[in-house]
Structure 1
Amino acid sequence: MKKYGCMLLAFLLCLPLGMYARKKGHYEPLLGKKYASYAVISSSLKGAVFYLVSGHGGPDPGCIGKYQGKELHEDEYAYDIILRLGRELLKRGAKVYFIIQDKKDGIRNQAVLNNSKRETCMGKEIPLNQVARLQQRCDAINRLYRQDKSRYKRAVFIHVDSRARHNQTDVYFYHAPGSSKGKRLAKEVQRTFRAKYDRHQPNRGFDGTVSERNLFVLRKTNPVGVFLEVGNIQNAQDQKRLVIADNRQALANWITLALEKDFRKK
């Protein structure tokens, strides 16, 4: 018996770390080598399903800002925040779909995230035409939505805005016209962000707004959705929200907290 026990131990010690993690069942390769393994820390979102969509991708980088002589591309920062958000949701027992995917870029901690055109829509090439590109991701979400039996299904869209360089903005939120549940979710995220700013920067205030907007992805997708613009990529202060990895993580953490609150109200 001892002989077989030693053989099993030797076999396990020879397994690559990633393989062992996959056997445990908590492994998502899209998150990157450093973050692919994760532990489920609670069941606060058990039964919830999320469709996470980072803006643009593939042939379309979205808006582009300049930072210390280098370019900041919207799609790369939206994707990094989405990955961080997805990991936090997975850790709380949720079912998560990453609609836009890059098999090479996982969660990254650099200030300037290198641009690529590798992103796909769940493995399918992203078209250059805007309407076709948006329709493709809506179709992917709706196909998954029809398959999932959960009573709580939510879509989260993350983008970065581009305005005049002097125009500093807080994170602001959209929901589909006439969607009471979408409005409730957007308000919950807004309240959570305001509370966090009041705690960590008590004299700053928070001016992020909630409004309805007839956006293609909100109009054409079946799940209740919330659309976030996380800052002005041209503004030096807003850029700190993007280039500092801890700030990207804070955005993911706060959105997660709001989703937990909304889930409890379902």
Structure 2
Amino acid sequence: MVRILFLLFVSSFLFLTPFHASAQEERATPRSGEGISAFLQRNKRPGKAYYQEFLKLNKKQLRGKQELRLGVKYLLPPLKSGTETAADSSTSSSAASTATSTVGSGKTIHEPLFGKELAKVQVTGNRLKGACFYVVSGHGGPDPGAIGRIGNVELHEDEYAYDVALRLARNLMEEGAKVYIIIQDAKDGIRDDRYLNNSKRETCMGDAIPLNQVARLRQRCNKINELYKKDRRNYTYCRSIFLHVDSRSKGHQTDVFFYHAPNSANSKRLATTMKNTFESKYDKHQPNRGFTGTVGPRNLYVLANSTPAGVFVELGNIQNTFDQRRFVINSNRQALAKWMMEGFITDYKKSK
């Protein structure tokens, strides 16, 4: 009898041990285009404490970068007592109020424009705390902008510029910035599709977008200036960014290039900083390729008529086969957003 009890005890221990170990070493794989904050949030580990612990646990896999790779199983921080309940309860409250709420040790922003899965933004950094941004994707509504083609599929400028704009806005929020998304589509959200569906739903923060070009540009400038009147009392650094996709001859390959307002030192510094950031990224990730993006002054309506200093970004040539890869591959759209965010961080530091 004693021997039977002993064997039962040993067998139960053997079954329990691996279960305990796996609970302590839970792993998960990121989704396409998912950053660390969204990845941890989806796995019910929101907040700065989880974020920092994740970086420590996955130091070798991240190799000094704060970027996730598809197909890699990352070690998740152990769940703290009560975390899952807090995360679940915060979802309904923030969704109902569409406002900022506190979850765990970090701040959570609820932004429905990012789509259901990414609507909850975890603020995990403070590198842009005290900064305010007006993110504007080009064209929209009745105007699709430039149109490229891959086979029978049309690529519309406004859809790809909008997806990059949303990704940029989310990245800026994660670093503590106040962000306005000026051109909005209530349905699209951040998309990982190669070919983005075309629509005419976009509005200028709820207002219908006019077809007339001057009226359309005036509308978004007026919206920015109206917001800036209030924001400049609370923020010492306010910047606008206008995202577009160029259209040139099919054989003309271009890198990302930047325009600044001719008579604005802040606009010129921002555009130059953006260009230098992209150049350093290409030197690091594609050292033998080189970067041919440029910076220059241009008397564009939106730069001349919006009050905060701004930068106008052309993301590439929508007609060129090689440039199209920069738009249709979602990880490339995410990289564009991340590098622009880093450009803003560098410029913000310079402004202090």
Category of TM-score, reference length = shorter chain: over 0.9
Residue aligning to 1:5: none
Deviations 1:229-262 (CA, angstroms, capped at 9, x unpaired): 0000000000000000000000000000010010
Counterparts of 1:16 and 1:76 in 2: how far apart (Å)?
34
- How many residues end up aligned between the 2 structures? 256
Which residue pairs with 1:6 in the alignment? none
Q: Indicate yes or no: 2:236 matched with 1:151.
A: yes
Residue 171 of structure 1 is matched in structure 2 by 256
Report the alpha carbon displacement of residue 177 of structure 1 after superposing the two structures with TM. 0.8
The C-alpha deviation readout for 1:83-134, integer Å capped at 9, x for no partner, is: 0000000000000000000000100000100010000000000011111000
Which residue of 1 is the match for residue 194 of structure 2? Answer: 111
* Local SS of the residue matching 1:39: strand
Residue 19 of structure 1, aligned match among 92, 100, 113: 92
1:63 equivalent in alignment to 2:136: no
The SS at the match of 1:114 is coil
* Deviation, structure 1 residue 67: 1.2
Distance 2:208 2:89 in 1: 31
Residue number in structure 2 paired with 1:49: 132
Distance 2:179 2:345 in 1: 14
> Corresponding residue for 1:4?
none
Which among 240, 251, 259 is matched to residue 336 of structure 2? Answer: 251
TM-score, with length taken from structure 2: 0.71
Aligned amino acid, residue 193 of structure 2: Q
Q: What amino acid is aligned across from residue 137 of structure 1 in structure 2? A: R
Q: Report the equivalent of 2:292.
A: 207
Q: Is 1:75 matched with 2:158?
A: yes
Alignment CA distance shift 1:16-1:234 (3 Å) = farther
Q: Structure 1: give runs of 5+ residues left out of the alignment.
A: 1-8
Could you tell me the TM-score, scaled by structure 1's length?
0.93
Name segments (4+ residues, structure 1) moved above 2 Å.
Answer: 15-18, 20-25
Q: How far, CA to CA, are the matches of 1:145 and 1:90 in structure 2?
A: 18
Aligned position for 1:236: 321
- The structure with higher relative contact order (CA 8 Å, sep 6+) is 1
Q: CA deviation at 1:38?
A: 1.6
2:122 pairs with 1:39: yes
Instruction: Give the root-mean-square deviation of aligned CA atoms.
Output: 1.6
Larger radius of gyration: 2
The aligned amino acid for 1:138 is C
Distance in 1 between residues matched to 2:140 and 2:337, nearest whole Å: 19
Separation in 2, partners of 1:119, 1:19: 27
